[in-house]
Chain A
Amino acid sequence: MLDQDLSRLYPDQEGYFQTATCQAMLRQILLLWCLIHPECGYRQGMHELLAPLLYVLHIDLQYLSHVRDEYEDCFSDEFHGVSLPEIELSSAYRFEKIMNMNTAATDKDGSVQEKSAKVTSLDELDPETKDIFLMSDAYGVEGELGVVLSEKFMEHDAYCMFDYLMNDANSVVVMAELFSPSPSIGSSTGLPPIIEASSAMYQLLSIIDSSLHSHLVELGVEPQYFALRWLRLLFGREFSLEDLLVVWDDIFSFPNLVSFPDKANESELGCRILCSPRGAFILAMAVSMLLQLRSSILATEYATACLQRLLNLPEDISVKKLIEKAKSLQSLARDTVFSCSTQGGIPGHQHGGRRGQSLSYGSSPVTPNLLSDSYWEEKWRLLHAAEELDKENCGDTVSSDMANGPLIGRFNLPRTASDPCPTDFQSENKNVGPSDTSTRVDRNHGIYRSDKVPRISATEESLCLEIEAETDYVEEHPDQDVIVKGLDVAEESRFNADNSLSTATSPHRMVNDHEYDSEDSSITSSSLIGRTCDEANSAENPCNTSIDKDENSIASSRSGQGPYSVEKHAAGLKKWKPLSGRFQWLRRFNRGYAEGNMGNRIAVEPQKSYVVADNCGSISGAPASDPCHNSYEVSRNIEDEDKNVIGTSGDPCHSSFEAHGEIEDEDKNVAGNLRGIAKAMLENIQVIESIFKQDQGLDGSKDSKSTTISGDGQAAAMAALEELRNISNFLSACDD
């Protein structure tokens, strides 16, 4: 069996693995390991874990001989008078290895060290040799480079590395376990570790991209079908050897120890792999690969096709990108450890009470096997109806809206936007009447807006520079538009989190917040402008909320303007903190989304028009900042937070309620710096315009459906732009 596997090892590689020496070495190492670990025995695939290790050693060795050839003079000079220079040399490397690695201590090290001490002193005397070490290092893969370079010890080293990888007592990720058919000790699930690890990966996926997760579940794609190979071989079959070594570099660069010792014991074993940074990274890497294949997976209709894609990754896949994303997902992966430990292994979003509150609906995939397509559709319809109702009785059914929102946003967005996936849901979405469409599109805004808006308000002070830089970038990488923004959002949210008070939020306060938010959201941006300048109309309001509703809300906002708004400020600040956590999540989600759906403009396009509306809010919020910096901070926090809430809740109506209040305050303070406002507005307009121009350039490449939708959005946005310009002119005139 072993021989058979070995003969089938990397047949497409350029020959090294099929050489007699290599095969003999592999066989000896594997046989020895199996004899020492009879409880494991040889399992297919182990050879493919060992082979890359050996390969690295081999390459290093080759490089050493290359260096030695080149510096032969130096070497012979160096070791002049020493009877066996080659051995001495290898000892020197060996010694360094011991210093660096401390893992490959074999019995022979004692004698080696004596010799190497001698050589090391020579080494210190002669800078030439040091250079060679340095060169070896510069070439190498990791710290042990320039180190392992003795043919004599190559096999020993490989064995030690393999053994350490397979079966280290202190490690969390023990590869041997992944090959084991029986549950490991302490497992509460009674399942083989590989299956537990696979389902831990699905848990992670359900948090990061619930729609992809539910699609896989619906197809009946069990995680172990593909994850078994991914994980057992540490992705050895999924990438070329060259790429694999890059991936392994990252995997092995993360410590493999339990990072939350207290949690590890109580948490389910399914999550235990997540307890170490390395385990978390491995699973994050797997999820990252899934996200990379997202659109392709969503396009499949049955399990086999899907699995075929999962087990035959496209060759042009960018390993660097995968790793980057995996790293960004890693911390989230580790967060799930906590959720596991608090919920008994059930994947969820209950990261403590407050975040749990905001994300609880997102955790529906907790029972993924029970969720069918029809379930989601039904759910969606119910929520949709609830929201419609909510709009009419604004303020009354608020909390349900708040609670339902995240789900709508999360679920609807990827489904709508992504794609070729021919589900009923899709077709329904595309065939709906105009009014319906606008609402759904607005939901898409929900999420996107939350990305974009903070960016704009963040850049208000240093607007020109940053925007220009960013616009350039966007023009270069139009596809990564959303990602860029997502990153900005992250910065912004961090910034705000710093600013915000760390007061704990009481449940009572949270309830209040909901009410405020709903009120806010019922006021459209158009009504705000209307009040400010009597000029704006619903043109810039992509959702057809009726005017009288707006007036209602405004009335209520007026009545509550005094102490009421102050209280609101406080509430907003207190609520910010939990939201920032969610924001981080959104960022990740969006990154995944954006990469999975490159070039899809349906959602991205109409979003532009929303920026306009939001921008108005930002601008009207700005005046407050000038007279009173402190209150500016407050209002900005609230405003961002407000948008955040609305964005997440998927409510189409945007509001600048607080900002509006600030304007009133500002009137009392005597209109100062009106010119500044005008300028800020103008700058914002420029921003929007620049985005637009770029978008128009892309119009040609869009498919017809997205063009019609985006066309509407654009028209509205352009009209809004016009209004903005008028306002700015008007304000400038006033100042004069």
Chain B
Amino acid sequence: MAAYRADEEYDYLFKVVLIGDAGVGKTNLLSRFARDEFSFETKSTIGVEFATRTIHVDGKLIKAQIWDTAGQDRYRAITSAYYRGSVGALVVFDLSRRVTFENTARWLQELRSHTDPNIVVMLVGNKADLRHIRAVSVEEAQAFARKEKAFFTETSALESINVADAFTGVLTQIYHVVGRKVLAIGDDPSALPIGQTINIDMKDDRQAANKAGCC
């Protein structure tokens, strides 16, 4: 019993969803973060897939449950279940395909309609390694993120650029916002009710946290 607990220890447990159009690299972004792996031969996600990783923030152990959703299952009764209880979201687009960037507006809309409006959101322009065919400029994406009250970063799962930073940024922000008082889970994981609404007081430091991409 104790053996089970040993690697399950954490101070906070946050659920984060990965959304965005099909093929923007959500699954690889996650596998890079969770296992430091990348594969050119990733199968398309059907339904939802899961990964976890525990990180340290301010000496606290934060366990992230990351839900990697299928790009196509948008606007479904099914997907609303995926958002349930999530306190953070990464909205991913492929910066070499403009249409995926344009669709992020719809993703954000869907996300907001299913979660607490104050959920911590980060807009992620993935595939930053494809600089030669970039279709979305950093400035444009940044401006859009600002308008949507979201963080923005550019990543490359392939070259492992900014991936950990993106996740850590979201998790840190959740930690700061949520704080000890709301989500004092302690070592009893079952104490986190599914679907609990968490008031996230978004502060002005959002803008400060915005980061430019690698390019």
Please state if A220 and B194 are interface contacts (CB–CB under 8 Å). yes
**Residues of B contacting A305 with CB < 8 Å?**
52
Please state if B46 and A308 are interface contacts (CB–CB under 8 Å). no
Please state if A44 and B71 are interface contacts (CB–CB under 8 Å). yes
Knowing A8-B41, A8-B42, the reply to whether A218 touches B1 (Cβ < 8 A) is: no
Please state if B81 and A8 are interface contacts (CB–CB under 8 Å). no
Tell which of B15, B81, B190 has the most Cβ of chain A within 10 Å. Answer: B190
* Complex interface: stretch among A189-197, A265-273, A575-583, A589-597: A189-197
**Does B148 have its Cβ within 8 Å of any Cβ on chain A?**
no
- 8 Å CB contact of B47 from A219, A224, A373: A224
**Does A12 have its Cβ within 8 Å of any Cβ on chain B?**
yes
Please state if B44 and A5 are interface contacts (CB–CB under 8 Å). yes
The interface residues of chain B, by DSSP majority, are classed as loop
Chain B residue nearest to A5 (CB atoms) is B44
Chain A residue nearest to B45 (CB atoms) is A44
Interface residue range, chain A: 35 or more
**Residues of B contacting A22 with CB < 8 Å?**
none
CA distance A237 to B42 in the complex (A): 12
**Does A226 have its Cβ within 8 Å of any Cβ on chain B?**
yes
**Does B132 have its Cβ within 8 Å of any Cβ on chain A?**
no
**Residues of B contacting A45 with CB < 8 Å?**
44, 46
- 8 Å CB contact of A311 from B15, B49, B73, B189: B49
**Residues of A contacting B42 with CB < 8 Å?**
8, 11
Chain B residue nearest to A44 (CB atoms) is B72
**Does B43 have its Cβ within 8 Å of any Cβ on chain A?**
yes
**Does B23 have its Cβ within 8 Å of any Cβ on chain A?**
yes
- 8 Å CB contact of A302 from B13, B47, B75: B13
How many pairs of residues, A versus B, come closer than 8 Å at their CB atoms?
100
CA distance A225 to B45 in the complex (A): 12
**Does B95 have its Cβ within 8 Å of any Cβ on chain A?**
no
**Does A232 have its Cβ within 8 Å of any Cβ on chain B?**
yes
Please state if B50 and A307 are interface contacts (CB–CB under 8 Å). yes
CA distance A672 to B197 in the complex (A): 78
Please state if B22 and A1 are interface contacts (CB–CB under 8 Å). yes
**Does A246 have its Cβ within 8 Å of any Cβ on chain B?**
no
**Does B78 have its Cβ within 8 Å of any Cβ on chain A?**
yes
Please state if B46 and A225 are interface contacts (CB–CB under 8 Å). no
| Min CB gap B6→A, angstroms | 12
- 8 Å CB contact of A301 from B49, B72, B75, B189: B189
Please state if B77 and A218 are interface contacts (CB–CB under 8 Å). no
Residues 168-189 of A, flagged 1 when their CB comes within 8 A of B and 0 if not, give: 0000000000000100000000
Knowing A4-B23, A304-B50, A307-B50, the reply to whether A422 touches B78 (Cβ < 8 A) is: no
Please state if A229 and B65 are interface contacts (CB–CB under 8 Å). no
| Min CB gap B124→A, angstroms | 19
**Does B76 have its Cβ within 8 Å of any Cβ on chain A?**
yes
Please state if B46 and A228 are interface contacts (CB–CB under 8 Å). yes
CA distance A181 to B23 in the complex (A): 21
Knowing A8-B44, A302-B13, the reply to whether A420 touches B72 (Cβ < 8 A) is: no
Interface set, chain A 179-236, CB cutoff 8 A to B: 181, 191-192, 194-195, 218-220, 222, 224-226, 228-229, 232-233
Please state if B70 and A44 are interface contacts (CB–CB under 8 Å). yes
- 8 Å CB contact of B46 from A9, A44, A299, A422: A44
Please state if B50 and A311 are interface contacts (CB–CB under 8 Å). yes
Please state if B48 and A225 are interface contacts (CB–CB under 8 Å). yes
| Min CB gap B198→A, angstroms | 16
Q: List 28 A-B contacts (CB under 8 A).
A: A1-B22, A4-B22, A5-B22, A5-B44, A8-B44, A11-B41, A11-B42, A43-B72, A44-B44, A44-B70, A44-B73, A45-B46, A181-B75, A181-B76, A181-B78, A220-B194, A224-B78, A224-B81, A225-B48, A237-B43, A301-B8, A302-B65, A302-B190, A302-B192, A305-B52, A308-B52, A422-B5, A427-B1
> Footprint of A on B, CB under 8 Å?
1, 4-5, 8, 13, 15, 22-23, 39-52, 65, 67, 70-73, 75-78, 81-82, 85, 189-190, 192, 194
